[in-house]
Every structure is written in C-alpha cells, then in structure tokens.
Chain A
C-alpha cells in the first residue's frame, strides 16, 4: 500500500483511545486478559477464596504500577455481583494520608467510615439514622476521651478532620491507643448492623457482602519518612492481622507488593502478573497465548478498520504492531506508551518501520540511564529468573520493589512465580555488565 498522509481525525481518535484510564468491565476497550486459557486468573482465585469461605474472609491483592489492579478489582466486583454478592468499594486515600504512618486505630475508623460512605453512594438502605461518623463520635463519649480534646462536635467534624488535619489524626491515635479493643468492637458492631440490613433487604438471594478496600498500597510515606511509614504498614499486617478481619464480611485489601518479600508465608497475596509473552527458559521461546492477548488488546483499541489503515493490511504489515508488542514486557501501560509514541510520530500511513524504531527508542530512553550496580542485579535476575534478593533488608526490598514498580523487572506466574528483565533494557544491561567485566582488573 502506498503511503498516504495520516488523516488528522484518525490520529486524534486513535490517540485518545490510547490514553490510560482504569476501565470498568463492559468498557469496549476492556481486554479480558485473564479469562483466557493458559493464563492464571487472580480474580478467579479471589472469587474462589470468597466462595469457599463460610461467612467472611480476608484477602490481599497487589500488583505493580500499571498492571491493571483497579480495573481487575472492578471486574471482581462485577463477577461477584453476578453471583449474588453485594460488593462495596472504598478508597483508603479518601481519609488516609499516604505520606503518614498508619496505625490500627486510624485504619479501623477509616475502614468503617468508607463502608458507611459506600452504603450511601450505592443507595443501599440505611440501617439507622447515623452514619458511622456519627456513631464513632458517639462512641467516643463512652470512653474517657473527651470530644473537645479531639476537636469534635459532630460526625461531620470527624470526617473533615480525618481528611484535612494531620494533627487530629495523631491526637486520635494517641487517645485511642488504649482503646483498640473497644474501638474494634465498635467497628465490628457497625459492620454487623450494616450487613444485617443488606441481607434483610436482599433476602435469600444475598450470597454475602464483600468490601473492596483499595489504594492501601499507596501508603508509602515521603522522602523523609518512607522507612517509618512502610514499617507501619508492615506492622499492621503482621501484628494486627486478626484485627483486620471483620465478622461476616469478605474483605479484600489492596496492599503494596513489597509485603510479599517481607512476609512471604504469613498471608497469601494475589499479585497481578504481567502478561507472559515468553517462556521461562534460556531462549525465552515465545508464548503464543500471551502474544494473542496483547494483539487482541491492540486491535480492540484501534478498531479493525483503523488498525489496517494504521499498520497496513494483515500479513507482513501486522509485524509492525507485533514489533511494539514484542518489547512491551506484557505491561499494558508500556504497550499504550509505545502505541502513543508511534501515533505522535507518524506522518504517512501505513506506519513505517522507521517510525516504529523511533517510538521504541524513545520509550527505551525512559528507562535510562541504568546504574552499574543496578545493571549487575538486573543481569542476575535475567539469568536466574529469580528476584536474586540477597537479604530482606529494607534497602534491598525497596530497591527490588522499585525495579518492579518501574517495570525494570517483570513478574509472571504460570503455576510458579518468576521474574525477568524488561525486553527494552536487556541489551543495555548486558552491554553495561560486559563493559564492566572487560574493564575490571583480572583476578590474580
């Protein structure tokens, strides 16, 4: 096909289709990635855990940035609702500050408060006059904590202060330090009332109540207190695990992925993997199912006619799209980034190999430069397909998490968990290591 100038409207449409926003099930761009043969479906696993549990359960869900966690949580919600569950969603960051340490008292209050908000948002029946915020304020009056001491008059004050006043959160934490047991009971009672009311309304068809408590993985502190905040999150899930479960409720917390490395066997954590494009063997032989999934994603975003117009008719020109897919590492955001770079650079259609080359080079440069020590670690990961974590010291765990969060390292599962280096940087890593080896003095 002779090249034609790329029509502006087509490019505009495509570019906007390639923007990254979390998708809800039913969205035409949603690609059912995990509902394919040969791909482990973490959502299906979480559903099973809920179904196989009696009245309540607690699960941890995680994934590295851009893996599609929020989208999959929405899918879990839709699937569970189809099975008759009432599923509510809460955002931890509505009331928690991601830059501050978290403790069990604040978490419990926020957990109940967001559940209360979710009930109102869903238009589900109230079970009393009071929201949780009012209930808690009333609860405080039963303790020796004086409302004036914490600057509260009403439940609305509580909500506002939790959102905006760090000192309030600190004061509350201190005041409630000796009241955790009572607080937990207060929270449990609130949930119980809510669940009862929901079940009464739904009748026998209500399979159960699920609460998805999202964004806790965002709690990681700032530059000055990162270690303390991370430590506080770790403490929550180790020392207070029993307090994190709510009776009669199926609870899913999203958690930071590094928990996996510091608490390996304490709580099973479902981590959303990258889409596997190659097998765990030295030659990295292609894994066809993964390729097909990503090809389908691209087709879905472009539309059939637009795909052919942009990449050329199927056959030899489909290889242009495959070149981008081959280097995305199985990561949607990286694939969308590559596709966007291509759209921004194209002048004539179908897209030329040079434009594809330039797009790949541009996205590769986002990963550079790579420090020598990092390259050496990455090289070990690439060879062993293992995180090669020497210790579980915070420094090492943080560094590995950074690799995973920034997609330098990819996480896969196919019966077993394994890791590999992003295809965009493998050559660079190899060159750095070879160069270092060449320049190192020979061992005596």
Chain B
C-alpha cells in the first residue's frame, strides 16, 4: 500500500474512530457470533465512511481466515443491473460477507438518480427474498446513506422484515474541548508580580467546511420545497462548517441555528442533530455566549446517552467542563472533566483522555493548584505525542507555558509558549497561534518586557476582533490593561479594563468579571481614588469566592488590605492580609513572601 493510500486510511480512521463506536462493535460482534444467512443494513453519511467500514471489516475477516466480497457499483445503472446477476454471484468457502454499497448523501446532485436506482433494485430483489436467503449462507451487507432505511422499508418490505439489524456509522463529532477566556492578573499593589493566567487552548476544531456561500446557494434552492427540509438543514450545517473554517463565527452561528431549528422540527435522526448541537455550541462559545453553549452541549450529551454512544457522552462532558471553566466555575468544570476522563479511559480513547486531562489541568490552574495543573498538562502532552495529535500537543505545550507563568517562572513560560507558537504555525492553526500570542504577552510582562508584551497583545486583539472571537477579546483586553498600567498609563489601562468587564458580563464569564473589577480597583487606587478602588475590590471578592478562584480571592484580599492600611484602618488591613497570606501559602504563590514581609511591618506598627 502506498504512503498516500495508507495516509488516507489513517485520516479516515481518525475521523471515524470506529473502535470506539458501539455500532461498529455490534457489527464485528455479529460476525463473531453468526452463522448462515444474515442481512445487515449499514447506514453512513458518506461514501468514505462506507469505504472505511468495508476496508476495516475486510481486515477483521481476513484475520479470521475469511473473506469479504464486494460488488462494485460505480453508477446508478450498475446498481439497477444488480438484481439481474445477484443470484449468480459466485461464492467460495471462507466467504463471510457480501458487501453491496452505494452511499449518496441526500444533498448531492445525483441523489435523485441514486435514490431511484436503489428503489428499483430493492423492489426487484425483494421478490427474491427466499432465493436470496437460500443462496447466501453468509452476511449480506447493504450499505447506503441514512435515507436508504426508509426506501428499503417502503419498497422491499420482505427483505426489510428479515433484516438481522441496522447499524449506523457516523464520523466522530467535531468536538473541541473549549478553553476558558483569558484571565487577567490580580496584582498586589506593592508590586507587579505579573502572575497572570493566560488563555488556555482549544484543540483543533478544523471543521473541514467547504465554500459556505456555495452551500447557502444550494440551500436556497430547497427553501419551501416540501419534503426537503432535512436536506436543507444539512446544507445549512455545511454552510456553518464553512463559515467556522473561515472563522466567521457570527455567520456560522446563524447557519447552525437555522439548521438546528429545522432538524428539531423535522425530526432529524439523533446523530445528525448531535452534529449541529455540538458545532453550534462551539460557535456560541467562541462568540462568548457560554450559557447557550452549555444548554446545547447538555442536549447533545442527552442524545449521546439516548443512542448509547459513550464517546459522545465523554466529549460533551469535556465540552461542558471547558464551558464552565469559561464561566469561572472550576468546581463544576473539575467534576464534569473527571466524568469525561473516566469514560475516555473505559473506552480506551487516548485522544479524549488527553482532552479531559487538559481541562482538568486548566481547572486546577484556575483554582491556583499549579503543581497539579502541571502534572495534568504533562500527561496531556505525553498522550498527544503518543497518538501523534499535533493540535493536542500544541495545546498541552501552551498550557504548560501558562502554568509556569502562574508559578512566576516566566523564562520557562516563554520557552514553552514560543515552542507552541512554532507548532501552531507549522500546522496552520491560526486560532491557536493567536491565543498563544496573548499568553506570550503575559510571559513577557512577567519578564518586565512590557512593550514586547503590548505588541503581542495588540496583534492578538486585532485578529480576535476580526473573527468576532469574544472569548479571546475579553482576555486580551484585560491583559492590555495590565500592560499599560505597568507602563504607567493608568487611564488607558482603565479604558481596557472597562471594555473587558463589559464583554465578560455580556458573556456571563464570572471569572473575567471578577478579575476586571479587581484590576479596576487597582487602577483607581493608583489614581489615588481609594474609596472607589475599595468598592471595586469588594465586588471582585464576592465573585472570586463564588467561583472558587483562590488566587483571585487572595490577590483581592491583599489589595483591600493595602487600601485599608492607606486609609489608616490597620486592624482591618492586618485581618485581610492574614487571610490573603493563608491562601497564597496554600497555593504556593510567590506573593506569599511579600505579603508576609508586609504583615510583619504592619504588626510592628501596631
């Protein structure tokens, strides 16, 4: 087999993940258990899927010393001619499967012709049900697009009535465990620790969409045509994929929404509904609509349970975990990601295992448990390299960069992030590259190279605005605020913090809201407006405790301590500082040393 061909099979295999699909395992189990005549109807959305199934099944049977015989049907005419010679198909001992496949999606140009050919063929074969049963002491597989089921039921009811079972094989949903928005730093006013939290990374969500306008053009032809509602829905989904590929997330969201509405209304099969739910969820996350995305992922998870697809369940748990992280709810994110990890390990799906570990790492990072986060990210990286998934590798390396930045090791952070950016460019993942740029900016800030940091942020922000990626924008705005503040331009910093705050509130990101409130507190404090600063800190503290972000809580406690001391309320200041110290020490934050020192001074004064 040539390298190209081998590569094609590997790509297809990766898209379908057959080993993890219950419906595929059911098919293989059948061949292990069955003897004599059987009729299996295999439904799959595209010809490539059928080709993969035939290839894999052939290999499975070959390993058992059996053969799969395939009847080639390159044209509708060839299919129509099948009944004429079907019963003459020669058989040999060891033949275990006779494969008859013609998969044509219902939105293709030749769909009507293929449908007609299947109708005629099945109607004719139906008349020979008994001779077929007598002639073929093996499993007959008829493989077609999902619409084949209805055609067979209607035009070949005798054959349909003796089916052994129907199996549905779908490509894996294009699922990306989503990453939280960029999170801004809470700085004790005594020094810029730069201990920022950077945006974590999504794995690749290359939807592979084609020309979305072409898809919309085809869709428009089906509007108002009775009976074509699901075909229209599929084209709209396709347009959504195309827009997502171009990173036009608003248009993608619109197309997916319309597709979903149609699919719900006209009772699309669960796997089709699932695709659109997941993709729309991903688009919503990107434009900052986290709660709607959570609702969509929940629905998708229910469907996964309904159809018994554990892989879907695992993936949706991962997506939900990621979405809750975006909202700053690390506790819920951890719970869901652990469930995802359990299922991924049960199914021995390394890709999803890696994804779940990445989300757990991010949840730990958000809760300021950095060592544990690093442990998770290292496992994520090992798996990504093992399964040769460069998107996951890029994500893991970037996550490690972020983690080391949290520990204050900015040099190491820069090394990891630059490595990740190089990989993102190599695999042409420009979305990753943008996120990593923003993270790199934080690391440069940590090294005191603020101007370099601002350059990184502004490049990333321009791109994030261009593609309407609200999540990215939120984080970058906050980081720009920090950078300008570090340069002494507090008014400009406040402008950026306020933009980021508005955006975080609009998208329901509580963590982002809290971080920006705290940063506004620091900025107003810098301007000498202590009371105003204190009000912002109090608001930030409430939310930080609500979402369980310990670093943010500690930083805000410390900031309020500083303001209270400046307002001559030493008792309250010491109380707040002690509370902050306790948390900084628990999370091994380097700020603990500075807080301890300052506390000693204040106690001495008292």
Contact = CB atoms under 8 A, between A and B. Distances in A.
Given A405-B157, A406-B160, A344 B127 contact: no
Given A16-B33, A354-B308, A432-B267, A97 B157 contact: no
A98 B126 CA distance: 9
Interface residues of A, number: 40
A333 B130 CA distance: 16
Given A222-B123, A340-B165, 17 more contacts: A11-B29, A19-B34, A65-B157, A65-B161, A66-B161, A93-B130, A98-B127, A222-B124, A337-B163, A344-B29, A345-B29, A358-B307, A365-B269, A365-B270, A366-B149, A405-B161, A406-B160
Contacts of A354: 308
B157 A343 contact: no
A341 B168 CA distance: 13
Given A343-B33, A361-B306, A369 B127 contact: no
Given A361-B308, A370-B267, A97 B127 contact: yes
B30 interface: yes
Given A402-B157, A406-B153, A406-B160, A345 B165 contact: no
B269 A223 contact: no
Given A16-B35, A223-B123, A369 B267 contact: yes
Interface in B390-427: none
A368 interface: yes
B158 A65 contact: yes
B268 interface: yes
A323 interface: no
B36 interface: yes
A47 interface: no
Grouping DSSP codes into helix (H, G, I), strand (E, B) and loop, the B interface class, with mixed when no group exceeds half, is: helix
Interface of A: 8, 11-12, 15-16, 19-20, 65-66, 93, 97-99, 218, 222-223, 333, 337, 340-341, 343-345, 354, 357-358, 361-362, 365-366, 368-370, 402, 405-406, 428, 432, 435, 439
Contacts of A16: 33-36
Contacts of A66: 161
A15 B165 contact: no
Contacts, number: 99
20 contacts: A15-B33, A15-B34, A98-B127, A99-B123, A222-B120, A223-B119, A223-B120, A333-B161, A341-B165, A344-B33, A362-B165, A365-B166, A365-B270, A366-B149, A366-B163, A368-B269, A369-B266, A402-B157, A435-B265, A439-B265
B22 A223 contact: no
A357 B310 CA distance: 13
B38 A19 contact: yes
B597 interface: no
Nearest to A219: B127
Contacts of A20: 162
A12 B123 contact: no
A439 to B, nearest CB: 8
B558 to A, nearest CB: 50
Q: Secondary structure at chain A's binding surface: helix, strand, loop or mixed?
A: helix
Contacts of A223: 119-120, 123, 155
Interface in B1-54: 22, 26, 29-30, 32-36, 38
Contacts of A93: 127, 130
A8 B265 CA distance: 43
B164 interface: yes
Contacts of A439: 265
A19 B165 CA distance: 11
A344 B268 contact: no
Q: What 10 pairs between A and B have smallest CB-CB spacing?
A: A358-B308, A15-B33, A65-B161, A98-B127, A344-B26, A12-B33, A405-B157, A344-B29, A222-B123, A66-B161
B90 interface: no
Nearest to A355: B308
B521 to A, nearest CB: 50
Nearest to A341: B165
Nearest to B127: A98
B84 interface: no
Nearest to B150: A369
B154 interface: yes
Contacts of B123: 99, 222-223
Contacts of A65: 157-158, 160-161
Interface in B131-182: 149-150, 153-155, 157-158, 160-166, 168
Given A66-B161, A223-B120, A361-B307, A345 B166 contact: no
A218 B156 CA distance: 11
Nearest to A428: B267
A345 B29 CA distance: 8
Contact of B168 (A8, A337, A340, A365): A365
A357 B308 contact: yes
Interface in B552-572: none
Q: Which of B35, B153, B267, B270 has the most CB of A within 10 A?
A: B267
Most chain A CB atoms below 10 A, which of B165, B168, B268: B165
A357 B308 CA distance: 8
Contact of A99 (B127, B130, B161): B127
A333 B160 CA distance: 11
Contacts of B307: 358, 361, 365
Nearest to A16: B35
A16 to B, nearest CB: 6
Contact of A402 (B36, B154, B163, B164): B154
A284 to B, nearest CB: 24
A337 B267 contact: no
B127 A218 contact: yes
